Structure 1
């Protein structure tokens, strides 16, 4: 009987060792796979975003210089560069804000956590940057639409206006004159021959 008990204990020990080895191999394989996946994703993002980090000060200066010109005198190629650079910078800022948003969603039932996160000065700063550079991008699209329209490229103009329209904040809290969505919508309506007053803001 003791022989069988020892044999049974020995068999269990072997099974435990084999299981531990399998878990270790699986864990190692899983970490290796995760590392490869992260590396692939990083490579993909480098191909999409480029190797150089955009300089926000340079984007601001370039946008201010170009937007100050009359619409007909603005350079289409430069506007495209401004739109792309502003979009890239905004996307990089979003990589931080997304993590804050995920954390807030995960802790949505805990009001005290949400209040503490929202109090962090970085949150307002990130949101302000994101809004600023999205605004630069959208203004560039609107101006590109005007250039296309002046050249008689109506379909291209419509699509550029649509980019500015759909990517802008819909509610015009500061009024129609400073609202990119509203401006883009007027161009789109004119091209389509659509009449009717557009929405501005819920509190007039």
Structure 2
């Protein structure tokens, strides 16, 4: 590729590299507060790439139906499993109660990534949402393999403990006093 300056490596690279569409969820999934295994599941959810029963049923791989393994009330889609499923909604409701928060029942990633909160608060909120997604997905798999799942209150306690451990591991000694007070108010910092 020649321009008025001649060939450059940068202009050649721009010619051959693929152009990808920017995604809105990138910063929500790939942030330093989330646990890597949670980030991976969050990435698959954001891309709607999990192998859910509905996809497998449509491909002829799943057995008889495409019903949700956690509630059996609807087809198992990404939107249903992580926003509409009664089990998932109860898990988020329990997290709200435990952490004295108000996480909405839909658009969790968008909610956690928006708002006028500090960088630490945004990271913690995203950590909670990604942990909830991960554990709901694991319970779905447990229901598929073992035929049983944890009660939502037990699962939400497990999520809270995991998020608390992540916060304690990542928290810097020079953290702003307002952020520490907020962490104490949502019962995520000891």
Shorter-chain TM-score above 0.5: no
**Which one has a bigger Cα radius of gyration?**
1
TM-score normalised to structure 2 length:
0.28
Query: Greater relative contact order: 1 or 2 (C-alpha under 8 angstroms, separation 6 or more)?
Result: 2
Q: Comparing both structures, which one devotes a greater share of its residues to helix?
A: 1
TM-score normalised to structure 1 length:
0.27
